[in-house]
Amino acid sequence: MLQFLIRRSLISIIVIFLVTILVFVSQRLLPGDPVRVWVGEERDPESIAYFRHKYGLDEPIPLQYLRWLSLALQGDLGRSIRTGIDVREEILRRLPITVELAVLALIIAVVIALPAGVISAVRKDTTWDYIGNSVALFGLSVPNFWLGIMLILFLAVQLHWLPASGYVSPWEDVLENLRRMIMPAFVLGTGLSAVLMRQIRSSLLEVLKSDYVRTAYSKGLEERVVIYKHALRNALIPAVTVLGLQAGALFGGAVITEQVFVIPGFGKYILDGVFTRDYAQVQAVVLVTAVGYIAINLIVDVIYSIINPKIRLEGAKAE
């Protein structure tokens, strides 16, 4: 296990390098540059040239990359050209918010998906199954923007139960933090729960038909024991994979939800960075999300081997 972890960590560093190069080059392939976008409708060749030079945008791309890399390795992620704000500070401020939103969304998704998936599978082709599936897929098809606005209009504007937007740190006020996070986490969680629920249902169905589950039943074991001790454990593998995939999406992709609920997370930060060509901003977020994503999937791989010991961890195997 230790050997596996060390090897994977080393490889991960290469992957992260790869990611930073990909981001760096892909951003510079897009037309326009940060200075031109900032200047906007007003053209001012002199100040454009000045800022291009100041931020090294007039240099060859490999040189720009090396400069960025050497600074990044020292912990300096640069400043936003447009606002002059230190990107590292901004990342550190957003990281806990993004993580909290993602974790809450995941919890909500699992809380909905696990029982719903189990019921749907165990009661396959019954009304319960149909209802569960339809509701889950409805949650998936409903655009986050629509759901978010509807929740705000109903719970915040009509009933005044919850605040409409904003973020309060849990260190300041735990309850207020939850009151403000519950709607966005719910919006994010519903979409995710559909994907999870469908996977759990499908793989549980698979497992329920397998020989060892039939054997377990024939031995007269109680249903609950069979499902939770034997079947569900094996059925979770695809669900865990999907969870790992979605975690990446939750990390940098919650743009709409962040926008509707005015939460300063990574999603909007990176997308605005792309549109204003604020290179430093995009690079920094992708760097952080890449590290997070790779760490999560490393954990996912470890979880596989715990769920199903037959799966060997790559790197730990002999061949």
Partner 1 sequence: MRRILPRVRLGLLGLLVLGLSAVMVSLTGGSAQAPVILRVGIAEEPDILDPTLARTFVGRIVFASLCDKLYDIDQNLEIVPQLAEGLPEISPDGKTLTIKLRQGVKFHDGTDFNAEAAKFSLERHLNLPGSRRKSEIAQLQSVEVVDGFTIRLVLSAPFSPFLAQLTDRAGMMISPKAAQALGDQFGTQPVCAGPFKFKERVAQDRIVLERFADYWDKDKIFLDQIVFKIIVDPSVRLANLKAGELDLFERVRPTDLDLVRADPNLVLSSVSSLGYQGLTINIANKEGFNKPPVQLDTPLAKDPRVRKAFELSIDRKVLNDVINNGEFIPDCTPLPIISPFYPQGLVCPERNIEQAKQLLAEAGVATPLKITLMTTNAPDAIRTGEVIKSMAAEAGFDVTINPVEFATALNLQDAGQYEAFLIGWSGRVDPDGNIHQFQTCGGALNATGVCDPVIDALLNEARARSNNAERAKLYATAMDLNLPPDISFLSRRNIIYLWHAVNFVALNQSVTGFVAVPDGLLRFKGVQKR
Partner 2 sequence: MRSVVKAKPSRPVLAEKALPQRRVWRLIRRFTRRPPAILGASVILAFVVVAVFAPWLAPYDPQATNWSKIRKPPDPQNWLGTDDLGRDVLSRVIWGARVSLLAGVVSILIALLLGVPLGLISGYYGSWIDQVIMRLTDALLAFPFLILAIALAVTLGPSLANATLAIGVSAAPGFIRLTRAQVLAVREEEYVQAARALGASDLRIIGRHVLPNSFAPLLVQATVSIAGAIIAESTLSFLGLGVQPPTPSWGSMLNVAQGFLQQAPWMAWWPGLAIFVTVLAFNLAGDGLRDALDPKDY
Interface with partner 1 by CB under 8 A: which residues? 30-32, 36-47, 50-51, 54, 80, 82-86, 90, 93, 111-112, 115-116, 118-119, 122-123, 128, 149, 152-153, 156-157, 160-167, 175, 178-179, 182, 222-224, 227, 259-260, 262, 264, 268-269, 272, 275-277
Q: Give least dist CB 2 to partner 1, A.
A: 37
Q: Which two tokens stand for residue 151?
A: 């929740």
Which residues are bridge partners to 79 per DSSP?
86
- Tell me the CA distances in angstroms from 102 to 107, 201, 248, 310, one per residue in order: 9, 23, 9, 31
CB-nearer residue toward partner 1: 177 or 297: 177
Q: Which two tokens stand for residue 18?
A: 């790869």
Window contacting partner 2 (CB under 8 A); options: 34-42, 51-59, 130-138, 170-178: 130-138
CB-nearer residue toward partner 1: 165 or 241: 165
Candidates 64, 133, 165, 177: give the one binding partner 2 (CB under 8 A).
133
The site string for partner 2 over 237-266 (x = CB under 8 A, - otherwise) reads xx--xx-xx--xx-xxx-x-----------
With residue 267 as reference, give the H or E element that holds it: helix 266-275
Candidates 41, 42, 46, 125: give the one binding partner 2 (CB under 8 A).
125
C-beta of residue 303 within 8 angstroms of C-beta of residue 233? no
Q: Which two tokens stand for residue 79?
A: 């400043």
**Of 234, 251, 239, whose CA–CA distance to 309 is shortest?**
234
User: Is residue 1 within the footprint of partner 2 (CB under 8 A)?
Assistant: no
CB-nearer residue toward partner 1: 30 or 66: 30
- Tell me the CA distances in angstroms from 170 to 161, 180, 247, 255, 310, one per residue in order: 19, 10, 22, 22, 41
C-beta of residue 165 within 8 angstroms of C-beta of residue 209? no
Read off φ and ψ for residue 79, nearest 5 degrees: -120, 150
Q: Give least dist CB 156 to partner 1, A.
A: 4
d(CA 82, CA 71): 19
User: Is residue 170 within the footprint of partner 2 (CB under 8 A)?
Assistant: no
User: Is residue 311 within the footprint of partner 2 (CB under 8 A)?
Assistant: yes
- Tell me the CA distances in angstroms from 261 to 6, 98, 143, 257, one per residue in order: 40, 13, 14, 6
User: Is residue 189 within the footprint of partner 2 (CB under 8 A)?
Assistant: no
d(CA 81, CA 129): 53
Binding partner at 152 among partner 1, partner 2, none, C-beta below 5 to 8 Å by kind: partner 1
HSE on the CB side for 315, CA within 13 Å?
Answer: 16
Q: Give least dist CB 184 to partner 2, A.
A: 17
CB-nearer residue toward partner 2: 165 or 297: 297
- Count of CB atoms situated within 10 Å of the CB of 10: 10
User: Is residue 146 within the footprint of partner 2 (CB under 8 A)?
Assistant: yes
Helices (H), 125-265: 127-141, 144-151, 174-208, 211-218, 223-225, 232-252, 255-261
Contacting residues toward partner 2, per CB under 8 A: 11-12, 14-16, 18-19, 22-23, 26-27, 29-31, 125, 130, 133-134, 137-138, 140-143, 145-146, 149-150, 153, 194-195, 198-199, 202-203, 205-206, 209-210, 237-238, 241-242, 244-245, 248-249, 251-253, 255, 267, 270-271, 274, 282, 286, 289-290, 293-294, 297, 304, 308, 310-312, 314, 317, 319
